[in-house]
Amino acid sequence: MSEIKEVIKAEAERLGFCLCGFTTADPPDDFSRYLQWIREGSLGTMAYLKREDTLAKRADPRLLLPDAQSICVLAVPMALFPQESAFSVASYAHYKDYHDTILPMADDLVKKIRSYLSELTKEDGHQLPLLTPDFSYRICIDSAPILERSLAVRAGLGWVGKSSMLINRKYGSAFFLCEILLSLPIEPDEPYALDGCGSCTHCVEDCPNQCIDPVTRTIQADRCAAYLTIEHKGDFSPEQAALVGTHLFGCDECLRACPWNHRTPSASPLPHASAIPEESDENLTAEEFKAKFHDSPVLRTKIKGLQRNIAAVRKNLEKGEE
């Protein structure tokens, strides 16, 4: 059992994943913390997060793959890009949509697992008990209802910091997470038991909208500039527009404030997007918007959302000059 785990970890590293750990498919231990966050009602327009079916799946990953026995938790590093003082763009928007680029990496890892188990079967001349190349799996990349940070802690990758981000001592919190649910019984890694935040509160202090709760380690999403400029649907109220500040798309402030991100590697295997958003995008037509951001996570805002963000930032800058 341990040999296949080491083979998978080595292949994951070769493919560009910076972290790889295993845990069981059992329910996460801290679902109650997530449920309390939902009940506090800081979701903004993300009502899908409180649907009964999605809550049930976050409470038990096996509802995503009924025969799941283990979960491979992976991370892909991300560099932090310099930020403009106005119309700033989050670092992740400098890359092609990570859903599209990480999925092939995870698919290749699954193929490697199948190949390895097939070779073992040929060598032994019979089907290995439990470890069969005909296993089932499901890949999750921030698009399935799963408590990925909780599972990552249980897989030994790091701890949930005061910023609510997963933090690793080598890679900080500048990475994307991915999970592969497997019907294979792979030995779990030891859960991460330490808290590397200590008395540090840099992320709390540097958050422009003071929306981080360091006690519960959650974000008041409806005050977060990242949520407002990416996930919020519809127009801004005057208060929401003010909370956007100078952020055109996303917000990296808590990432930049974290001391664990001051020494993270600057390389990433992910390809850069063809373009990043800028103030002049207010003049784009719908067709031009799609063409410019065809490979970018900026598509998520749609053209009306991006133009809404541009108008809010410009107004905030004008107020600052008064």
Which residues form the catalytic set?
142
| Helix or strand holding residue 218 (H, E) | strand 218-219
Q: How far is residue 23's CA from residue 147's CA, in Å, rounded to a whole number?
A: 13
Distance of alpha carbon 148 from alpha carbon 150, whole angstroms: 5
The distance from CA 236 to its chain's CA centroid, rounded to whole angstroms, is 25
Structure tokens at 63: 């509802």
> Could you tell me where the beta strands, DSSP code E, fall in 134-174?
137-140, 159-160, 166-167
Phi-psi region of 198 (alpha: psi -120 to 50; beta: other; left: phi over 0): left
Bridge partners of residue 218, in order along the sequence: 213
8 Å CB contact between 293 and 277: yes
Query: CA 90 to CA 272: how far, in whole Å?
Result: 13
